[in-house]
Structure 1
């Protein structure tokens, strides 16, 4: 084995691995529904300030969430081949160091929220609480992906709060719809590790749904797209919006082809490419407002 392989990794390299910097799909899954909600809330382009706040804030909070998740799951991750070499699990980073990185990132995100309004600042504490609760939900909740769905959808009410200083019922419907999308793609993700999770006693939707896992994923995609289609229709968006929904639906059908045999490779590919489905919906919302 070469000396380069044995050489210890630098701290910056470990920190980037900790926050999944080389895997942007995670923060893109949070970003697209949050930005779509901004467009809905502002009835069009929300302005550069809020756009910057939500883009940077999403990246920072997803990165902070990875730090907390890796600390919480370190004893489980060492039994899963895909996660055994994560910095905290492998011992390359200490628990205190990982939490310190997460705290700094969360504080930077909070500094961005402070440039909005009081209502959004208050909602940010709720979002943080849900983010911190998710890693531990996997011990007690049969479908922890539902908790993740709330955490990954909380940019929606915060977007409305930032624009309108209130969160209308419309925003909560968008959140419910987006929760089903999270349930779909994170069940695909859980299907990858199902065998390992069964051995270590981890609770996941893939285990809970059992042989109905593929049907549950497709039903969740359908509910997500139906609710967001109804939302766009109520705002009288143009044909471009429905084109975006149609492209997203086509991708969902492709994902069915990827996951129907339940192979690790197919399920992971479907999960990894889900951000394109979310982008199609976001692009449809933006394009739907353009003629106005």
Structure 2
């Protein structure tokens, strides 16, 4: 890949993509030769990695409580963090390779590295392989059952970029792909997939479906012109209803997952804070304000962290109460 990196270094400077935070570390500090690849992996926009990571951390914390551990396994939390960055980057690279022609016709995506020509398709494929190898190394560090569970997700990840061409609900497929971590944490602790993990997974699918609908409203007009589909186009002005229903389902499924485990006050408090955050998004939604849609989408990281902190505090509190009844 070194030759490709050298080629990138000689290429004209790539303009920042529209939804990257201004002054992000890639634009300010990364070497020019690496910058297109870091943008290809979305390292200038880490929100996707956070959103992919949240179900992994929820599942790890929920399993820790069910297994009566003193705290969520730090090794698992770190491995999932590394894996989320690697596999989110790999997924985005694969998406950009497949969507390069479409991306050139959409204002928000026309400066993506492959669409703009800053990274060639062969170079992007090589970078994709590298990121997948990092993800594989993380996966092989997990128990065998979790390895098999992780491998089972690859088909969904591979087909997701094609779904916008054939269905009006590609967000549902993304929900499955981005929620797989809700199974992984539990599988890593118990070497099985039980009802609490399945309920957490179902709730996460509804969560992803909703927040990616918000995200899709940024491209609604361009998508209609290009001819790709999304829930933003499907629901239109009724999107707030779809979001309210999806977020309600999310909270119900999560509550059922907590009921299936020995969850206490802090876990339920975390869920209440999470739910309040979600329904505040619905209250504030204006589908004709792209900047607001992006901000609401990004705020789901904070919502996810609220739930994770609640689950984690609950694990610690229950352990301490067992030591000092």
Task: State the TM-score bracket (shorter-chain normalisation).
Answer: over 0.9
Q: CA deviation at 1:261?
A: 5.2
Runs of 4+ in 1 over 3 A off after TM superposition: 6-9
Partner of 1:132: 158
Q: CA deviation at 1:161?
A: 1.8
Partner of 1:32: 54
The answer to whether residue 284 in structure 2 is matched with residue 258 in structure 1 is yes
Partner of 2:274: 248
Partner of 2:91: 65
Which of 30, 34, 44 is 1:22 aligned to? 44
| Contact kept? 2:55, 2:182, Cα under 8 Å | yes
Distance 1:261 1:190 in 2: 10
Partner of 2:196: 170
* Gap regions ≥5 residues in structure 1: 1-5
Greater helix share, structure number? 1
Distance 2:12 2:229 in 1: 37
Q: Deviations over 1:112-171 (max 9, x none)?
A: 211222222222222222111100111112200000000001112122221111111321
Pair 1:241–1:262, CA change in 2 (3 A): farther
Partner of 1:145: 171
TM-score w.r.t. structure 2 length?
0.84
Distance 2:286 2:207 in 1: 18
Q: CA deviation at 1:246?
A: 2.1
Q: CA deviation at 1:36?
A: 1.0
Partner of 2:64: 42
What RMSD, in angstroms, separates the aligned Cα atoms of the two structures? 1.6
| Contact kept? 1:46, 1:163, Cα under 8 Å | no
Q: CA deviation at 1:174?
A: 1.0
SS in 2 for 1:192: helix
The answer to whether residue 231 in structure 2 is matched with residue 209 in structure 1 is no
Which of 190, 207, 218 is 2:244 aligned to? 218
Distance 1:176 1:117 in 2: 23
How many pairs were matched up? 287
The answer to whether residue 223 in structure 2 is matched with residue 197 in structure 1 is yes
Which of 223, 248, 253 is 1:227 aligned to? 253
TM-score w.r.t. structure 1 length?
0.93
- Comparing 257-266 and 145-154, the one that deviates more: 257-266
SS in 2 for 1:22: coil
| Contact kept? 1:232, 1:285, Cα under 8 Å | no
Which of 276, 280, 289 is 2:302 aligned to? 276
Q: CA deviation at 1:210?
A: 2.7
Distance 2:89 2:267 in 1: 31
Distance 1:125 1:234 in 2: 27
Partner of 1:3: none
SS in 2 for 1:193: helix
| Contact kept? 1:25, 1:273, Cα under 8 Å | no
SS in 2 for 1:290: helix
Distance 1:8 1:230 in 2: 51
